[in-house]
Structure 1
Amino acid sequence: MNGVLIRIAFRNLKEHKTKTLIIGILITLGIAILVVGNSFTDTIKQGIAKNYIANYTGNVFIASSSIKKPSLIISNEMLESTPKIVPDFSAIQNHVESLPEVTGTTGQINGVALGKWNEVGEAFMLLFGVDATSYQNLFPQGIKLTSGSFLTEGEPGIVLSKTVAEMFEKSAKKEIKPGDTIVLSSMNNVSGTKIREVTVKGIHDYGDASFDLSYVCFIDQETLRILNGMVLNTADSLNLSGTEAASLGTFDESSLFGSDSASLVTDTVDADGPIVGNDWTNVLGDTSQRAYLNETNPDAWNYMLIKLDNQNQAPKVIAQLNEYFTANSIDARAWNWLDGAGMSAKLADTISVVFNILLFVIAIVAIIIIMNTLVISVSERYGEIGTMRAIGAKKGFVRKMISLETLMISLVFGLVGVILGILIVLIMRGIGIEASNQFMQILLGGDVFRPVVSIRAIILSLVTVSLVGLIASLYPVSVALKISPLEAMNKG
């Protein structure tokens, strides 16, 4: 029976060449677009993922669970409140590094600052506070110096990005070089405005990685902790001792501005005699608590960056870490690299979604066109269908026949579309697509884009064309089966 159906379906397609070609061309073009488009987006996504994981983010990162929308580049949530740090960083790091999938970790502090150079040069910058040794070990190819050197362990300093260096030079009309000193100012909600002078160690260039990364400057972690107000205990308020409170007196309107009967300046006599020598330094009593509260926290990091043997292990590691945090009541959460990589890295995912929505719309249009063409084809074959029904063909036979015809068209021309799509991708790969501006360079991952044929796109295309054919055949089949054999023979 199957052999008979195939022969009949093949004969019917040959007899209706024009309609078969119309449907076939539509399917071919649609599948070719699907293969090319998905190969493009898959290549872009894979390139961005490889680039970011290897050079900027690692595979997984950990942040405080109070951060709802983390960003490894810049986070408004962190800038608008007290520093949100990974709790018990050292303990978590020891646990993470004990996992067999993990190949390395490092800490990162994020910040922003306004830089001043020679009184006239100014630049805004994003800051990555890092441990020089562990950061370079985790991202050995991520830092591309154009002059000078990277940070040295235990020494304050800053490595400017090429973009920030150019901002200084444009405003100062002079070239900034390693060895120059700049003044950084930043504001936080813990210790207010902080100003620090740092020496420029070098200048680096992230190239065309992304627009937001172009403002990133590396700074030693201790200086950034000071700028961010990452002190040992941000939760405690400053408690004055009895001596300190007594020495400050009671502040009210009368004591501040005097009264009608009191002069603004009065003479006082110390019963114990005048204060001499170093006694002035002890007037506020013990200041050790304030000194403690102003010491930076050496274990304070906004993020822990983690590299794995394989990105495919990321979901498993993230689940394990989050279970560990929950079980031990640790205020931390593990995320996938893309969650914190910034807008540029997420752009490819967004484009992929938009592209597939467009393809879905195109598929609906194709189904309607194919359906209408098949209905016309069926209506022209009423007599043939009626004769088949009259000599004993069941409804199931007619249904299978029309569905098989549609499936044959879909698969044959679908394969042609896949081959055409592969050829187009290979040709474009050989020629290369030049990125004409920075946006395209970010999107395409470099100056020249060379797409790779996506196996996922091919499989998706074949599944899509099969579904399109199946759905498109449903209505024509129902039309054919509604007509009685006698009526169909009379119409024929």
Structure 2
Amino acid sequence: MLLKIARRNLLRHKGKSLVVGIILFIGSLVMTIGSATVTAMEKNVTRTFIDSFMGDITIMSKKQKNEGVFMQMMGETTEVMADYAKTADILSGHQDVDSFIPYCYSIPMMLAGNDNPTGYPAICAIYAAELDQYQKMFSNISPVEGKLPLRGERGILLSKYMRDMYYLVNQDLYYPANTPFSAQYFPEGITNARHEDVSLKHNIVLMGYSARNSSGDVSVPVRAVFRWTRLDNFWREVSVMDIASYREMMNYRIGGDIVISRQESRLLEINTDNPEAMFAEKIETAGITAQKVSKPEFSRAAGKDDFDNNAWELIAVKLKDHNQKKRAVTIRELNNIFTEKNIDAKAVTWETFAGAMAGFIKGIRTGLFVFVSLIFIVAIIIIMNTLAMSTLERSAELGMMRAVGARRKFIGFMLLGETFTLSAIFGGLGIICGGLMSAIFSYLKLPVKNEMMQIITGNAWYAPEFTAADALTGIILLILVTVLSVIYPLRISFRISPLDAVERN
């Protein structure tokens, strides 16, 4: 009977019913599309940051003070892990670990070279790893020019953005080694450049930069110019190089006891508290003689052959389950093992490793959630005011119903029935239309050129993902909006008495 009365009353007050219905429809539609967008963003963030770049967990040295390594300043030191082999054994045997790869990360300088004395150096973020293993684990490099190097082959994979920017600054054009020059290597939009005006280069000189001030420089061949498969505009300043060249650049050498001569030993024994004593004794000297040495001997003397092949700074770890609660348990287990076995390693989340960048992404997601929430708050206020005005205008009708014996409880259920009928029809229609529109957008994959929107969507296109969980969330929120919207109008209806009907008539 209540449904029949509700239907009759809604038809009698078509104008107000339609206003409330439209508000419910728009709110449900926007909420559904927004929820599908958030769902897609969550999945794409997983694909972009975990599957394609950082993994679920990052392992680093316990000596590493700044855990936000990815956003650290140029020159900050990334500590080398002292117990990489032991750490790798633990990861290999852990039941939650799917795969892992060791790598290094820093921000060296690209030098202009002797043939360009007026050129400017530039900073270049570098990932260093075994290139074939890196691509196998992340599969996020798409070569534009050249090809990926073979296993054990030295070289750098230079991002197209960095190559183009360096050309615009210094007129140095880098392109893959052992490749004939072609005009296609010029940056996009550069059509009037002449071959003779450009410094063509196959090798890049990189200078390591760290707080220890112990790094050097290294010349590496450009093997390929590439774009990142996902969010190229976001990662475009990062290039990838082979680990052997990186160790040479950062001067990561094998430690050990140093053998010194008798003369050097005596120098260390000098009493620095009495400077005059430095000249009080006869000093042994030796003449300088020239002697031809072979190339291998020179290399050993110069320290070319003692680079530490086990020097790694970080380990990216992918888990079998991306669930955040499960990840937290795994991190706690790993850190407990590292502590018990006194291993120089600690596990952190990829968000911690990413530093301020992860906070920025979380801020965007929070902003999107707040935006959807504000839509609901506005909808609640508008619907509540509309229903309250409708209730006041129906005071005579409700008062007469009270006069003929209708109880407040009956009137309250009648108003609830009217509101829930509108909510079910228009709100349900909004959820259905939102789901259909999300499916259409996902199928069309509308291109997204704005960098901020690419971060929000996690892709270069907009493709929301509407799931059963989104539909259930929409229904729950719709019920919540309906209940909150009708509370105040119900309080007004409870105050209406038969006397109000007589006074209004």
* TM-score normalised by structure 1 residue count: 0.79
**How many pairs were matched up?**
463
- Mapped to 1, the partners of 2:75 and 2:122 lie a distance apart of 21
What letter matches 1:324 in structure 2? L
- Mapped to 2, the partners of 1:65 and 1:403 lie a distance apart of 61
Query: Partner of 2:329 in structure 1?
Result: 319
Query: Partner of 1:483 in structure 2?
Result: 496
Distance 1:245 1:198, change over 3 A: same
- Mapped to 2, the partners of 1:358 and 1:61 lie a distance apart of 32
2:72 equivalent to 1:76: yes
- Mapped to 2, the partners of 1:135 and 1:429 lie a distance apart of 30
Distance 1:432 1:346, change over 3 A: farther
- Mapped to 1, the partners of 2:264 and 2:316 lie a distance apart of 44
2:8 equivalent to 1:11: yes
Query: Partner of 2:91 in structure 1?
Result: 96
Distance 1:239 1:75, change over 3 A: farther
- Mapped to 2, the partners of 1:398 and 1:193 lie a distance apart of 82
Deviations 1:134-161 (A, max 9, x none): 323323x323233444355555432222
Equivalent residues of 2:234, 2:451 under 8 A apart? no
What letter matches 1:206 in structure 2? W
What letter matches 1:221 in structure 2? I
What letter matches 1:304 in structure 2? I
Distance 1:491 1:68, change over 3 A: farther
Equivalent residues of 1:147, 1:178 under 8 A apart? no
Distance 1:460 1:172, change over 3 A: same
Deviations 1:395-421 (A, max 9, x none): 333322222322222222101111232
- Mapped to 1, the partners of 2:456 and 2:419 lie a distance apart of 39
Distance 1:210 1:377, change over 3 A: same
- For residue 35 of structure 1, report the CA deviation from its aligned partner: 1.6
Q: Which of 409, 418, 423 does residue 405 from structure 1 map onto?
A: 418
What letter matches 2:490 in structure 1? V
Equivalent residues of 1:158, 1:202 under 8 A apart? yes
- Mapped to 1, the partners of 2:275 and 2:57 lie a distance apart of 60
Q: Which moved more, 1:203-212 or 1:375-384?
A: 203-212
What letter matches 2:240 in structure 1? F
Query: Partner of 2:223 in structure 1?
Result: 201
Equivalent residues of 1:114, 1:125 under 8 A apart? yes
2:131 equivalent to 1:132: yes
- Mapped to 1, the partners of 2:64 and 2:469 lie a distance apart of 34
- For residue 360 of structure 1, report the CA deviation from its aligned partner: 2.0
- For residue 183 of structure 1, report the CA deviation from its aligned partner: 1.9
Pairing 1:256-335 to 2, within 5 Å after superposition: 275-276=286-287, 297-312=308-323, 315-326=325-336, 328-329=338-339, 332-335=345-348
- Mapped to 2, the partners of 1:61 and 1:378 lie a distance apart of 60
Query: Partner of 1:190 in structure 2?
Result: 212
Query: Partner of 1:31 in structure 2?
Result: 28
Distance 1:370 1:411, change over 3 A: same
Query: Partner of 1:54 in structure 2?
Result: 51
Pairing 1:57-456 to 2, within 5 Å after superposition: 57-64=54-61, 70-71=67-68, 74-76=70-72, 79=74, 81-86=76-81, 88-118=83-113, 119-120=115-116, 122-139=121-138, 141-154=139-152, 156-170=154-168, 171-178=170-177, 180-206=202-228, 209-228=231-250, 230=252, 244=264, 246-247=266-267, 249=270, 275-276=286-287, 297-312=308-323, 315-326=325-336, 328-329=338-339, 332-340=345-353, 349-429=362-442, 431-436=444-449, 440-441=453-454, 443-445=456-458, 447-456=460-469
Structure 1 counterpart SS, 2:228: coil
Query: Partner of 2:198 in structure 1?
Result: none
Deviations 1:443-491 (A, max 9, x none): 5555543434344433332222211110111111111212334444544
Structure 2 counterpart SS, 1:472: helix
CA RMSD of aligned residues (A): 4.0
Distance 1:483 1:64, change over 3 A: farther
- Mapped to 2, the partners of 1:39 and 1:214 lie a distance apart of 28
Deviations 1:307-354 (A, max 9, x none): 234434x54244123233135415644344455457777766433321
Structure 2 counterpart SS, 1:334: strand
- Unmatched tracts of structure 1, length 5 or more: 259-265, 280-290
- Mapped to 2, the partners of 1:296 and 1:91 lie a distance apart of 20
Query: Partner of 1:262 in structure 2?
Result: none
Equivalent residues of 1:210, 1:344 under 8 A apart? no
Structure 2 counterpart SS, 1:393: coil
* TM-score normalised by structure 2 residue count: 0.77
- For residue 243 of structure 1, report the CA deviation from its aligned partner: 5.7
What letter matches 1:110 in structure 2? Y
What letter matches 2:394 in structure 1? R
Equivalent residues of 1:191, 1:229 under 8 A apart? no
- Unmatched tracts of structure 2, length 5 or more: 179-201, 291-301
Q: Which moved more, 1:246-255 or 1:471-480?
A: 246-255
